[in-house]
Chains A and B, each alone.
Chain A
């Protein structure tokens, strides 16, 4: 098997693991169903995809990842197609478009990009769901009870997991041209 295919399989497995972890984390310890004033939404898949996007040079690959994983996410978790399917590729292409501004990947840069991507994602989902009457909560409640806790939790997790995840995605993306 050529090394490139192996790396792509590795990337897909990495993102799928993050995909399952999203649901399992929500189920196992962010499961505030009885008193649900604060809602935390784990977004590890977005984290994995942002880290990969910062390292992959090919925009087409990024776009395909966004659409495919967005479709799976929508179908499996939401039952409504169109939320992640559209927002995820848009955000990833946006990250890809502006990543030339950063000369070197450091934790600060990547954290701020993940923060922006997460904000865009949650706000986009809120707007679309509000438009289709899937939620009735108003904008102030959304910021206080959903966006704030979600950002806080995910940023803390990103900070803790940064070193292993960044090294892993470095290893998953880079390979020597000669060994092709």
Chain B
């Protein structure tokens, strides 16, 4: 026994292994269970992110300029397409306003305070992205002080991009929907279609090879066509109803031919944006 403890290198190795697994196990479980990380970690992350914003604002500016150039390139075709849509838009805006007012009045008649479709939003700009192979995280410059909580959904301009995974005081981390993670990152979704078939499911996976989102646990595939729009269904309480996810691309059966998966082309372009919107649901679901 004495000889074993006199071997210094073995002891160091043993301690290192124990510390590694201890640290990893504790921090993984803290991340999955608790709302916020320990205070020391929060403060550390905030200091790093505040200093880092000095570098990230110029980067975002360059990024915006470069995407403006690519926009400029497509302007002519886009302009023609948009002109044809613009007449509908004015009419739809007026209609939306009238319907929203009516909806508000009916809700007060029914004494409904808030429903699944009600939400508020907070804008935040992206500071950086994790240099990691599997943890697709963005760091944004809003945190607890702006009322952000864990598990809130995050949108870019066009559609859903992910969910808040860690909240610090003035910064937080967003896990993108493209993350390959078994545990988190599932969105209750439904397919919008005119026949009112009510197809619901869970967007749970991301297909790396095609860049499609995969919706599983689908109750039926009757009447689903390519190009139909997919939105969050608001079931489960964490996400409000009516956030745009993407369009149906196709249906595939699993290996046993038992269940169907619907492949969705994400609406958010996931590449050229510098500002994101965090959605705060006004209905609190069960924790």
Residue ranges of A at the interface with B (Cβ–Cβ < 8 Å): 16, 20-28, 31, 33-37, 39, 41-43, 72, 75-83, 85-86, 90, 122, 125-126, 128-129, 132-137, 142, 146, 150
Contacts and interface: CB of A to CB of B under 8 A. Distances in A.
A30 B152 CA distance: 26
Most chain A CB atoms below 10 A, which of B24, B28, B56: B24
Given A33-B178, A83-B24, A77 B131 contact: yes
Interface residues of B, number: 55
A86 B13 CA distance: 11
Interface of B is mostly: mixed
Interface of A is mostly: helix
A137 B37 contact: no
B24 A28 contact: no
Contact of A31 (B21, B62, B127, B129): B129
Contacts of A21: 55
19 contacts: A20-B56, A26-B129, A27-B126, A33-B270, A33-B271, A34-B266, A39-B133, A41-B133, A72-B44, A77-B130, A77-B135, A77-B139, A79-B31, A79-B165, A90-B16, A129-B134, A132-B25, A135-B133, A135-B181
Contacts of A41: 131-133
Given A41-B131, A128-B24, A132-B24, A75 B62 contact: no
Given A26-B131, A33-B270, A82 B23 contact: yes
Interface string B46-63: 001101100110010011
A23 B131 contact: yes
B258 interface: no
Contacts of B266: 34
A147 B26 CA distance: 27
A78 B135 contact: yes
A39 B134 CA distance: 9
Contacts of A122: 133
Contacts of A81: 23-24, 26-27, 41
Nearest to B46: A76
A99 B3 CA distance: 31
Contacts of B37: 79
A78 B52 contact: no
B2 interface: no
